[in-house]
């Protein structure tokens, strides 16, 4: 199983501070992205790694086109931690 977040070029950095946003040109290249991208961490799904969900585009040898570099992986982990803390605080407040 893999976790997949919806990626968009609609960045909204001032409104979506808890999403993973990659805007730096060096980071864009290192991650194999074609544009600055915001990964919407509210829209994560778990999918099996199979052709039904991950078919390579025509002329491309594999489905994985890009990969988060180490810096972005660390940012993603920190964002996930902050999101969990916020959810916990909200749950405690609502209880």
What range defines the domain where residue 21 resides? Answer: 2-94
Residue 94 has a pLDDT of 92
**CATH number of the domain that residue 48 is part of:** 2.30.30
- Provide DSSP, the chain: -EEEEEEES---TTT-TTSEEE--HHHHHHTT-SS-EEEEEEEEEEE-SSTTT-PPPTT-SSS------HHHHHHHHHHHHHHHHHHHHHHHHH-
- pTM here is 0.83
The predicted-structure confidence for 9-68, as pLDDT tens digits, reads as follows 999 999 999 999 999 999 999 999 999 999 999 989 999 999 898 888 888 888 777 889
> What is the pLDDT at residue 63?
77
- Tell me how far apart the alpha carbons of residues 41 and 57 are, in angstroms, rounded to a whole number: 24
Structural domain total, the chain: 1
């Amino acid at each position: 199983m893999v976790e997949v977040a919806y990626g968009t070029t609609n960045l909204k950095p001032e409104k979506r501070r808890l999403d993973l946003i990659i805007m730096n040109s060096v980071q864009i290249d290192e991650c194999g992205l074609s544009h600055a991208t915001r990964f919407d961490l509210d829209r994560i799904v778990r999918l099996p790694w199979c052709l039904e969900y991950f078919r390579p585009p025509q002329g491309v040898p594999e489905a994985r086109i890009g990969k988060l570099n180490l810096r972005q992986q660390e940012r993603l982990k920190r964002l996930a931690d902050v999101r969990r803390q916020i959810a916990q605080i909200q749950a405690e407040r609502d209880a």
